[in-house]
Each structure stands twice: as C-alpha cells, then as structure tokens.
Amino acid sequence: MSDPLSMILFFLPLMVILWLANKADAERLAGLGGAGWARITYGIVALLFGLVLLLGLLLLTIPALDQAGLLSLSDLYQRLDTDSTLMQQIVLALPAIGGGVAGASFVALLLLLPAVRRGLARIIPIDPTRTVHAVSLSFTMLIVINMVVILAIGLDTLTQLVITQAAETAEIAVSPAMLLGLWTQQILMAIWAVIGVGWLARRSFAGSLERLAIRLPRGREVLMGMGGGFLAVFTSMFVAGMASFFGYGVDPDVQSLNEALLGPIFRSLPGILTIGFAAALGEETLFRGALQPRFGILITTLLFAITHNQYGLSLSTVVVFFAGLIFALLRRRFNTSTAMIAHATYNTSLGLLALLALEILERVEL
C-alpha cells in the first residue's frame, strides 16, 4: 500500500485535469467559448498518455536492445544490486508490460478524438462535445494500464515482492498506517469524483452531490442497501460454489497476494470496518455516482471489477463483477447512498465471516 503523500501526488494532477475539463464545459455552456480551456485540457491529457505510450514502446524494445548490444540485462541486474530471481522476473516482464501499456495509452489517445466519441455516444449516454466526458473516457485506460502491469508481472511475483519489501505488513495486528492509507486512498477517490462532476468549476458542492445521487438515506433505502449487501454476499458464495463444483477454485496466487496485502486488516475489527466503509465511500462515489450515468451499468461494473487488480483475471474478479452489478442496480433504482450501504454491508460481512472462520480454525488447532 502506498503512503498518503504518494496518493495525494498521484490524484492531485488528475483532479486538476478534471477541473480544467469542467471549466471548459462551463464556459462553453455559458456561451463564453471555452475552446481555450478545452485545448489546454486535451493538450495535457494527450501529453500524459503520449509520454506513457513512449515509455511502453521503450520497454517493448528491451529484448531487441539487449540482442543488439545496446543494453545488457546482466548489467542491469548488477546495477539493481540483486542476485535474486525475483527482480529478474520483473525485468523479464518489462516487454510485456510495455506492450500492454503502449496499447492502452494508444486507446486513451483515440478516445480524445471527436469521431470516436460520436461513435461511442450511440451505445453509451455520453455527450461527445463535452470535454469532461472525453477526459473521463481516456482516464478509464489508467485502470486498464494498472491491470496490464499486474498481469504481466504475475500475482506470484507480486506476492513475493510485497513480502520481501514490506515484511512487517504480515503482522497479526493491523497498524494505524495501514488504515490511514486505505482511508486516504478512498477519500481522494471520492474527492476526484466530486470534482469530476463539476465541483469548483460549474456546480456547487450541493449540486455535485445531487448529480452523484448522494443524500441522507431514508429508512427504506437503508434496509434495501443492507439487503442488497447480503444478497451480494449470497451471490458471491453461490458463484464461488458453482465454480468450485465445476472444478474452478480460487486461484492460490490470488489468495497469497491478498494475504500479503490485506491479511492483517482482515484480522481486526477496525480493519474490517475500514475495508467496509472506506471502500463504500470512495468506490461507490466514483463508479456508481460519477461514471455509471455516463458509461452505463455494464461498462462501469467491468471497470469496477478490474480495479480490484489484486485478483488479476480470476474467479474472484467474476465475483466482484456480480457484486458490483447488484450495487449498480441499487444505484439505478434508488441512489448512490443505497449502493454505498450495500457495499459497506458486503465488505463488512465478508470480513466478519473470514475473521470468524479464522478464530474457529485457531480454536480447533488448540
């Protein structure tokens, strides 16, 4: 898990870009033009993904550079001051990472083209003339890039890396730094979503919450949210059970990586509550609140599923997809607040069940 400062440095430029996009749209809708702000926004986004594209192409050429004698992988291992196979596995994955990153960056650049957005507007409810919609479409490739990197490196290698670099995270007791990191990430995600729908540029804070469909839930919405969360738990267990029946169990690499990343958090009540409520705040505000009305249920739910990149592309990803689908339907029928309650109920319930199972196992062993 990254530290709070690193998260702020990551999210801040993205927030500024979305603010610029909304500024352009605000001026255009007010009849003030807005073309200058739009050109600045498109220029920044194009530069960002252009640089990432070049980086991807550079990584893609590593084997050719090594064969041509322009780059020595053996020298690179020595400079990294390691004789372990772990770092060598990561270096060997760089071409695959480069190819995936370059491809996703190219798609991000294509999504900035008006003709591409006009085509997409026929199948999803976006406005192809809106700057913020164009930028949001491009930003979805950040999720894809993240997943590409995870898949190229491999879950088993990532597990070893996490254990090697942060062995202290395997402690039984959850640390305040872990909880702070999770809350920071999710709060920044929520702020990003609020700015993305126009706060500080063309909507008041209250108006932004209205666009996100976030409000104080009524009693019926609380009950429906909790019911939806329990339904998501049942659905997840059913999907996992059916998959196991047909011989598709949980990937052991997924289990190992999640234990290394989140094991301590799921062994404490504060950690479980953090996983429940922090994720409900950040992920629901972004995906169900901001993105779903523009990208539709299926695309948004798919993006939500692959955002959980610690699962790779596995049975666990499918489980998250079905849970996200339930949250999406609650958002459409009620509001984002109801989906938040469902998400919190789902995560907390699974966490408590895991903690209960662990305690039972420990007592049996004693």
* pLDDT tens-digit series, residues 256-291: 777 777 777 888 888 999 999 999 999 999 999 999
Neighbouring C-alpha atoms within 13 Å toward the C-beta of 180: 8
pLDDT-derived band at 31, boundaries 50, 70, 90: confident
The predicted pLDDT at position 129 comes to 94
* Whether pLDDT at 248 is above 50: yes
Arithmetic mean of pLDDT, 49-62 = 94
Which of 49-63, 147-161, 328-342 has maximum average pLDDT?
A: 328-342
Q: What is the pTM of this model?
A: 0.91
pLDDT of residue 161: 76
What is the pLDDT at residue 169? 45
Residues in contact with 35: Cβ distance below 8 Å, sequence separation at least 6, in sequence order: 24, 28
State the average pLDDT for the chain.
Answer: 89
Q: What angle do CA 255, 261, 263 make, to 5 degrees?
A: 70
Instruction: Please give the pLDDT value at position 257.
Output: 77
- 191 burial (CB, 10 Å; 0-12 / 13-18 / 19+) is middle
Give 238's pLDDT tier (boundaries 50, 70, 90): very high
> What would the mean pLDDT of 176-183 be, rounded to a whole number?
88
Residue 272's Cβ-count burial label (10 Å; 0-12, 13-18, 19+) is buried
User: Has residue 52 got a pLDDT over 90?
Assistant: yes
CA distance linking residue 163 with residue 359, whole number of Å? 24
Beta bridge partners of 203: 199
Q: Round to whole Å and give the CA distance between 41 and 134.
A: 10
